[in-house]
Chain A
Amino acid sequence: MSTRTEARDRFLSDWEAFEHQRGAQEPAFLGQLRRGARDQFAELGLPSSRQEEWRYTNVRPLAETTFEQPSGTPEITRERVEEISFPVFACSLFVFVNGRYAPELSTPQALAGGLPVESLAQLAVESPDRLEQLLAEAASLKGHPFAALNTAFLEDGALVTLPRDTDVGHAIHLVFVSSGCVPTISQPRVVVRAEQGSRGHVIQDHVSLAHPGEGAIHFSNTVTDVVVEANAELDLVLVQREGEGTHVVSNTNVRQERDSRFACHTMTLGGNLVRNDLEVLLAAEGADCTLNGLFLGRHSQLVDNHTLVDHAMPNCSSRELYKGILADDARGVFRGRVIVRPDAQKTNASQSNPNILLGDGAEINTKPQLEIHADDVKCSHGSAIGRIDEEALFYLRTRGIGAGAARALLTRGFAHEVIAALPHHALTDALGAMLDERLRGAGT
């Protein structure tokens, strides 16, 4: 039996045990939803690199490890959480440990209409009908094996609501902590609803906490479903800074309604095997979408970003900029699909993926893919792979800046455009500092 099949069977047998322990309080629809997803996962199994979508990403490192389901509450203190969270946003913090909401670690800040973040587990008990409707509208069950796996174990997560016609002044900061003394899988589900005319930004911050004497191999498998209703404006910041032992899979599905504006900022600084799928459906006229990404791979990391922008309706625009930095023997994959449907006249779509290779063993596979079925559209794409500009390096050195610092500075300059586009200057500063710290250690 192959490693992938064994891994699938482990997940399936874990599922039986998991399902057996569900409380009687849970609404019946949730069990049905999970069973359907379990069946789908059983059929799909773990993806093989023979599949086009997984051609450059072998999930073997992930399949080789036996992950435990989250159990009990790991001992994490509020101080520890504050240490690792962005200090500026500590005032409104929603903490999830191994996928489960941890109210004792959180400092929720209420809006006029109530809390902007609710635990899905709590919602299942208190307003099952609402949860059922929200999940039914989610687009995540589209044949992605890891999305199916996430749904099969759906138990808790976050519902974020930006209330109608409200400008949420502060950032809504969700922290997802992977923790445990044994390899542990956490599968949070995030549902974001930006109601009509609302404005705000949501930070989805993924970290892992190392325990002394532990190998810290975790698996973080997240599914995020986003709806941006008419005239709403939402910035979603996904920060992936798990430890280098943590495998990360993230599926984000977005639907945009009429005249909505959505920007996603995917910042990948950590993890071992990282695979992100981001799909945006421009479902109504006048929707505007920005996808920004920055990924830094070091050592033997693999960072794979698959994006899809689906222009289904006329007069929508999308722009995408993913910048990759690959040091040492790290590998990067970028596949950006843009579909312009026959109805989507007056589409304006651009896509760009410049990459910089810092290490001799580093590599990137980049593939833009435009599928245009309408004739009155403006579309452009481009990708590039470069190294540090030797002339710029010499220039900085002639000004007294050491070779290592000069390389780090040039790399930081390369990343600047993406970091500067973050929705808050404090985020720009924080991400810049994290990047600097990692570049210093990247053997540049």
Chain B
Amino acid sequence: MKTMLEIQDLHASASGAEILKGINLKIRPGEVHAMMGPNGSGKSTLAGVLAGRPAFEVTRGRILYCGRDLLELEPEVRAREGIFLAFQYPVEIPGVTNNYFLKASLNALRAHRGEEELDAMDFMELVKEKMKIVDMPADLMSRAINEGFSGGEKKRNEVLQMLLLEPRLAVLDETDSGLDIDALRIVANGVNHLRRPDRSMLLITHYQRLLDYVVPDHVHVLSEGRIARSGGKELALELEEKGYTWLEKTPPGTPEAQPA
């Protein structure tokens, strides 16, 4: 099986401070990986580096996405090539309607693939269908992007975008944080809806809770900028039970953590 994403010895820093200190990770098509870890371990930095966040500087290592050097691509090109980042803190943008934004976004991706732009009617039909999956109220489309949305609505809006853009690699940065159990189920439902043999996902989360609904193929634990441990879905449960301090007491690196 081909590799979707291969991260090799990735070091990255922000404002001169090194945060990622040698990440190695391989994600194959169809796989769902969970990246867990305590606050400050580098989870969101990893997500940001994958999406091309300008504040992070990659100082060593490389990332291959479908065999291409990902770090050479601008954020918008990564998106058009099928990478999607669901933001931990979705941005509020006054004066631009959600509808206009999602249409512009989808059409930018379609244009990149050489497909015709969707007109307003076809787009509306498609959106309605996707909105049902995340149980999103219709009026959120005519409001400004994320402005005045509740925490749950913002996260649902992220999943809606993901459903529309149908990425090849979806990175979800703590999409579960701050959600009540009903919202969590809805978000998980949206994520599960997208699982396909040719689509991969990286779920970044602090808690095991999301993984009750979206069952991962692999679980990694990030600690101080390195993957401290990798395993199957049972690793998440073990972490939940023992807490992150458990990591500090046991030696890092198990055989699964190293790419074959």
Contact A394 B75 (CB under 8 A): yes
B66-110: CB near A (< 8 Å → 1, else 0) gives 000000001110111000110100110111100001001100110
B204 contact set on A, CB distance < 8 A: none
- Known A-B contacts A390-B54, A405-B104; the reply to A398 vs B96 at CB < 8 A is no
B76, B84, B108, B144: residue with the most chain A Cβ atoms closer than 10 Å:
B76
Tell me whether B193 is interfacial, beta carbon within 8 Å. Answer: no
Closest residue of chain B to A391 (Cβ to Cβ) is B91
A389, A401, A406: residue with the most chain B Cβ atoms closer than 10 Å:
A401
Tell me whether A403 is interfacial, beta carbon within 8 Å. Answer: yes
Tell me whether A213 is interfacial, beta carbon within 8 Å. Answer: no
Contact A395 B93 (CB under 8 A): yes
B75 contact set on A, CB distance < 8 A: 394, 397-398
For A399, give its contact among B52, B94, B144, B161 (CB under 8 Å).
B161
Tell me whether B186 is interfacial, beta carbon within 8 Å. Answer: no
Closest residue of chain A to B87 (Cβ to Cβ) is A395
Tell me whether A63 is interfacial, beta carbon within 8 Å. Answer: no
B79 contact set on A, CB distance < 8 A: 397-400
A133-166: CB near B (< 8 Å → 1, else 0) gives 0000000000000000000000000000000000
For A400, give its contact among B91, B95, B109 (CB under 8 Å).
B109
Closest residue of chain A to B53 (Cβ to Cβ) is A394
Binds B, one of A1-9, A194-202, A408-416: A408-416
Closest residue of chain B to A399 (Cβ to Cβ) is B105
For B74, give its contact among A392, A395, A397, A399 (CB under 8 Å).
A397
Q: How far is the CA of A412 from the CA of B94 in the complex (A)?
A: 10
Q: How far is the CA of A402 from the CA of B75 in the complex (A)?
A: 9
Q: How far is the CA of A400 from the CA of B106 in the complex (A)?
A: 8
Q: How far is the CA of A406 from the CA of B105 in the complex (A)?
A: 10
Contact A400 B144 (CB under 8 A): no
B87 contact set on A, CB distance < 8 A: 395, 398
Contact A410 B96 (CB under 8 A): yes
A392, A395, A398, A415: residue with the most chain B Cβ atoms closer than 10 Å:
A398
Tell me whether A417 is interfacial, beta carbon within 8 Å. Answer: yes
A390 contact set on B, CB distance < 8 A: 54
For A401, give its contact among B52, B85, B104 (CB under 8 Å).
B104
- Known A-B contacts A398-B75, A399-B101, A403-B76; the reply to A416 vs B94 at CB < 8 A is yes
Contact B91 A416 (CB under 8 A): no
B51, B90, B104, B165: residue with the most chain A Cβ atoms closer than 10 Å:
B104
Tell me whether B112 is interfacial, beta carbon within 8 Å. Answer: yes
Q: How far is the CA of A406 from the CA of B91 in the complex (A)?
A: 13
A285-303: CB near B (< 8 Å → 1, else 0) gives 0000000000000000000
Tell me whether A396 is interfacial, beta carbon within 8 Å. Answer: yes
Q: How far is the CA of A435 from the CA of B211 in the complex (A)?
A: 47
Closest residue of chain B to A415 (Cβ to Cβ) is B95
B91 contact set on A, CB distance < 8 A: 389, 391-392, 395
B111-124: CB near A (< 8 Å → 1, else 0) gives 01000000000000
- Known A-B contacts A394-B53, A394-B75; the reply to A400 vs B165 at CB < 8 A is yes
Contact B94 A409 (CB under 8 A): no
For B165, give its contact among A389, A399, A416 (CB under 8 Å).
A399
Q: How far is the CA of A389 from the CA of B52 in the complex (A)?
A: 16
Closest residue of chain A to B76 (Cβ to Cβ) is A397
Q: How far is the CA of A57 from the CA of B112 in the complex (A)?
A: 46
Contact A398 B104 (CB under 8 A): no
Q: How far is the CA of A406 from the CA of B100 in the complex (A)?
A: 12
Closest residue of chain A to B161 (Cβ to Cβ) is A399
Q: How far is the CB of A417 from chain B (nearest CB, A)?
A: 6
Contact B108 A400 (CB under 8 A): yes
For A416, give its contact among B74, B80, B95, B105 (CB under 8 Å).
B95
Q: How far is the CA of A402 from the CA of B111 in the complex (A)?
A: 12
- Known A-B contacts A397-B74, A397-B79; the reply to A414 vs B95 at CB < 8 A is yes
Contact B54 A403 (CB under 8 A): no
Closest residue of chain B to A404 (Cβ to Cβ) is B76
B226-243: CB near A (< 8 Å → 1, else 0) gives 000000000000000000
Q: How far is the CB of A35 from chain B (nearest CB, A)?
A: 50
Q: How far is the CB of B41 from chain A (nearest CB, A)?
A: 22
Closest residue of chain A to B93 (Cβ to Cβ) is A392
Contact B96 A402 (CB under 8 A): no
A390, A392, A394: residue with the most chain B Cβ atoms closer than 10 Å:
A394
Contact A401 B95 (CB under 8 A): no
B80 contact set on A, CB distance < 8 A: 400
Closest residue of chain A to B50 (Cβ to Cβ) is A398
Q: How far is the CA of A401 from the CA of B95 in the complex (A)?
A: 17
Q: How far is the CB of A352 from chain B (nearest CB, A)?
A: 14
13 contacts across the A-B interface (CB closer than 8 A): A391-B91, A395-B90, A398-B76, A398-B84, A398-B87, A399-B161, A400-B79, A401-B108, A409-B104, A410-B93, A412-B96, A413-B144, A417-B95
The list of the 7 closest CB pairs from A to B, nearest first, reads A416-B95, A413-B95, A400-B108, A399-B105, A400-B79, A413-B96, A397-B75
- Residues of A at the B interface (CB closer than 8 Å) are 389-392, 394-403, 405-406, 409-410, 412-417
Contacts beyond the supplied A396-B101, A400-B165, A413-B94: 8 A-B pairs with Cβ under 8 Å: A395-B91, A398-B76, A398-B79, A399-B105, A400-B79, A400-B105, A400-B112, A414-B95
